[in-house]
A and B are shown apart, each in its own frame.
Chain A
Amino acid sequence: MNGIRTSVNDLAKSCAHSADAAEWEEFVCRCTPLASVVAMRVSRMWVSNPSPATVDDIVQEVFLKLCEQERRILRDFEPRGEDSFLGLLRMVSVSVANDYFRRLRSAKRGGNVVTTPLLEEEAQLPGDGAQPAARMQRSVLLAELDRKLRSAPEVVTERDRALFWLYYRQGFTAEEIGRLTAIGLTAKGVESALRRVTTWLRGEIERRKSEGPRESG
Chain B
Amino acid sequence: MNDDLNTGPASESSSVTSGDALSRAFEELIEGRRSRAGAPVTDQGSVPWAGPCPEPGEWALLLGGEARPAEWAKVDALLAHGAVCHTCAERLRILSADPSPEETAELGKLACASREGQRGLASQLAHTPHRALHDPVRNRLPRLYLWAGAGLAASLLIVAVMSVWWHRANTPERLLAEAYTRARIFDLRMPGAGFAEVTPGTHLRGSATGRESAKLLEARARIEDHLEAAPGDPHWLELEARADVLEEKFDPAIEILDRLLAAGPATPSLLVDDAAAYFQRGAATGSENDRATALEYLRHADELAPGDPVVLFNEAVVMEDRGQVMNAVETWNRYLRFERDPGWLAEGRRRLQALEQKFNQLKSHQSRMERYLATPQAMRALAADPATLAAIDEELSSTLLPRLLDGEKEESWNHGMGDIVDTLAALGVPDVVATRWQIDSASAVPMMDGFYGGLAKGLTVPQALTAARQTLIRDPRYRHPYYWAAWYASGGGRSDLGALFHAAK
A122 and B44: CB pair below 8 A? yes
B19 and A208: CB pair below 8 A? yes
Complex alpha-carbon distance, A145 and B38, angstroms: 20
Closest A residue, CB atoms, query B73: A158
Question: For chain B residues 427-443, which have a beta carbon within 8 Å of chain A?
Answer: none
A72 to chain B, nearest CB (A): 10
Closest A residue, CB atoms, query B37: A171
Contact among A21, A90, A116 for B95, CB-based, below 8 A:
A90
B18 and A214: CB pair below 8 A? yes
A142 and B4: CB pair below 8 A? yes
A102 to chain B, nearest CB (A): 9
A171 and B39: CB pair below 8 A? yes
A60 and B107: CB pair below 8 A? no
Q: Mark contacts of A169-197 with chain B using CB atoms, 8 A cut-off: 1 yes-contact digit, 0 otherwise.
A: 11111001001111110000000000000
B85 to chain A, nearest CB (A): 9
Summarize B's interface: helix, strand, loop or mixed.
helix
B46 to chain A, nearest CB (A): 12
- Count residues of B near A (Cβ-Cβ below 8 Å): 90
Residues of A within 8 A of B25 (CB): 138, 141-142, 144-145
Question: For chain B residues 88-103, which have a beta carbon within 8 Å of chain A?
Answer: 89-97, 99, 103
Complex alpha-carbon distance, A123 and B38, angstroms: 17
Question: For chain A residues 45-70, which have a beta carbon within 8 Å of chain B?
Answer: 45, 52-53, 55-56, 59-60, 63-64, 66-67, 70
A202 to chain B, nearest CB (A): 7
Residues of A within 8 A of B126 (CB): 18-21, 23-24
B80 and A158: CB pair below 8 A? yes
The verdict on A201 contacting B42 (CB below 8 Å), with A18-B126, A147-B7, A170-B83 known, is no
Residues of B within 8 A of A212 (CB): 19
Q: Mark contacts of B107-123 with chain A using CB atoms, 8 A cut-off: 1 yes-contact digit, 0 otherwise.
A: 10111110101110111
A29 and B118: CB pair below 8 A? yes
Contact among A84, A141, A162, A173 for B22, CB-based, below 8 A:
A141
B80 and A162: CB pair below 8 A? yes
Residues of B within 8 A of A88 (CB): 64-65
B406 at the interface (CB under 8 A from A): no
A141 and B14: CB pair below 8 A? yes
A139 at the interface (CB under 8 A from B): yes
Residues of B within 8 A of A118 (CB): 87, 90-91, 94
B426 at the interface (CB under 8 A from A): no
Closest B residue, CB atoms, query A88: B64
Complex alpha-carbon distance, A143 and B36, angstroms: 21
Residues of B within 8 A of A92 (CB): 60
The verdict on A123 contacting B42 (CB below 8 Å), with A25-B118, A90-B64, A183-B62 known, is yes
Contact among B26, B32, B67, B71 for A145, CB-based, below 8 A:
B26
B13 at the interface (CB under 8 A from A): yes
B128 at the interface (CB under 8 A from A): yes
Complex alpha-carbon distance, A28 and B95, angstroms: 20
Output the residue of B11, B36, B43, B89 with the most chain A CB within 10 A.
Answer: B43
Closest A residue, CB atoms, query B111: A56
Contact among B61, B90, B110 for A56, CB-based, below 8 A:
B110
Contact among A29, A75, A163, A171 for B38, CB-based, below 8 A:
A171
Complex alpha-carbon distance, A81 and B76, angstroms: 20
A19 and B6: CB pair below 8 A? no
Closest A residue, CB atoms, query B55: A98
B5 at the interface (CB under 8 A from A): yes
Residues of B within 8 A of A140 (CB): 10-11, 13-14, 17
A41 at the interface (CB under 8 A from B): yes
Complex alpha-carbon distance, A211 and B19, angstroms: 9
B385 at the interface (CB under 8 A from A): no
B14 and A147: CB pair below 8 A? yes
The verdict on A71 contacting B63 (CB below 8 Å), with A59-B112, A209-B19 known, is no
A178 to chain B, nearest CB (A): 9
A109 at the interface (CB under 8 A from B): no
Q: Mark contacts of A156-170 with chain B using CB atoms, 8 A cut-off: 1 yes-contact digit, 0 otherwise.
A: 001101111111111
B40 at the interface (CB under 8 A from A): yes
- List the 7 closest pairs (A to B, CB-CB), nearest first: A141-B25, A209-B19, A91-B64, A165-B83, A139-B4, A162-B79, A94-B60
Q: List 5 A-B contacts (CB under 8 A).
A: A36-B113, A98-B57, A139-B4, A140-B13, A145-B26
User: Which chain B residues have a beta carbon within 8 Å of chain A's beta carbons?
Assistant: 2-7, 10-11, 13-26, 29-30, 32-33, 36, 38-44, 55-57, 59-67, 71, 75-76, 79-80, 82-84, 86-87, 89-97, 99, 103, 106-107, 109-113, 115, 117-119, 121-123, 125-133
User: Which chain A residues have a beta carbon within 8 Å of chain B's beta carbons?
Assistant: 15-21, 23-25, 27-29, 32-33, 35-38, 40-42, 44-45, 52-53, 55-56, 59-60, 63-64, 66-67, 70-71, 75, 80-81, 84, 87-88, 90-95, 98-99, 116, 118-119, 122-123, 125, 127-128, 130, 135, 137-147, 150, 158-159, 161-173, 176, 179-184, 198, 201-202, 205-206, 208-217
